Amino acid sequence: MKIGIPRGLLYYYYYPLWRKFFETLGAQVLISKKTNKKIVDNGVKNTVDDACLPIKVYIGHVMDLKNQVDLIFVPKMMSIHKDEYICPKFCGLPEMVRSGIKDLPQMIDTTIDFHKSKKKLSKTVYEMGNYITKDRKKIDFAFEKALKEHESYKVQIKNGMLPIDLEDHKIFKNINLHRRKVKILLLGHPYNIYDAYLSMNIIEKLREHNMDVITQDSFDTKVMNEKAAIMDKKIFWSFGRKVIGAAFYAMEQKDIQGIIYLSSFGCGIDSVIADIIERRTRRNSDKPFILLTIDEHTGEAGINTRIEAFVDMIKWRGKNENNFSTYGKNLSTR
């Protein structure tokens, strides 16, 4: 039995867990190709106009898999943390896929909802496993192995790796990244910042400028929760809380020289979160901040120009940090 996993949305967080679970149950797992122009174009043609770019790309990845597999894994993601939610479009993802693509193979459209508690976890796992086997012991064993794989994946990310470095089964290899002098925080939804095609390969471009790129996933969850709690009201978007916590923490760290926020056009959550971070950065920090917005029409040349200008400013500040503040006046006494 072949199970397809689209290379989009929460793939960049949970792929090791999903893959290990299905493989341990005896299935062959196929991943869609890395995002390219054809996948984007197919997604745009088969998705409603008001869908954001990541959703359109996900549809394109499903189309890439549909004629190669027996089952496609398209879970209905409601909530991944207690008392929090993720993007509303995730809730209707299986329905969007069905309405946009004809002649689909059977979908594993299990509902994942931990809003109230994680007690539903066992039911969710069995529902996923039942597509392959009815043996509960096998399902329990497979999920136990999958959790270990996922924990190893998270440890490597906390140790300095990024999901984009750990793709293509390199999870247990010893990848040594050269530590650069300048450290930049790249913020955004994982499906924006870790998809090399959507992000215009921003991580590698920054590294080519001798900059060490970290993301919200590089920080300890406890630290991010504490920083996000500074807000007057609780942030009930899981990714929004994580991004705000990382940004607030980074503002206090001298070794982080700048912040980049990568957003997809039309994302309601990003429009709120990015504005909060930009205002707080300008008010409480002297770190340079730049917001980059992408959609299917975004040209790489324009993104490159803004990245290069941002990099030049960071380097210039490194040489002249005593004379100018980022948003203020000339500090020179001459």
206-232: average pLDDT? 90
Amino acid at 49: D
Sequence length of the chain is: 334
183-190: average pLDDT? 94
- For residue range 235-257, list pLDDT tens digits in order: 888 888 999 999 999 999 988 99
Cα-Cα end-to-end distance for the chain: 74
9-37: average pLDDT? 94
Q: What is the per-residue pLDDT for 266?
A: 79
Question: Which CATH fold would you assign to the domain 178-320?
Answer: Rossmann fold (3.40.50)
- For residue range 275-334, list pLDDT tens digits in order: 999 999 888 888 899 999 988 888 888 889 999 999 988 888 777 665 545 555 544 444
- For residue range 65-116, list pLDDT tens digits in order: 999 999 999 998 887 777 777 888 888 899 999 988 999 999 999 988 876 6
Give the helix ranges, DSSP H, for 8-164: 11-24, 37-45, 53-65, 88-91, 93-100, 121-129, 136-158
Which among 305, 315, 312 is positioned nearest to 182, based on CA atoms? Answer: 315
Predicted TM-score (pTM) above 0.85: yes
Q: What is the per-residue pLDDT for 115?
A: 63
For the chain, percent of residues with pLDDT exceeding 70: 90
The CATH class, in words, for 2-158 is alpha beta
- For residue range 130-153, list pLDDT tens digits in order: 999 999 999 999 999 999 999 999
- Asked whether residue 62 carries a pLDDT value surpassing 80, the answer given is yes
Domain boundaries, given as residue ranges, for the chain: 2-158, 178-320
- For residue range 161-179, list pLDDT tens digits in order: 888 888 755 444 444 455 5
Q: What is the per-residue pLDDT for 172?
A: 41
Per-residue DSSP letters for 95-122? HHHHHH-SS--EEE--EEE-SS-GGGHH
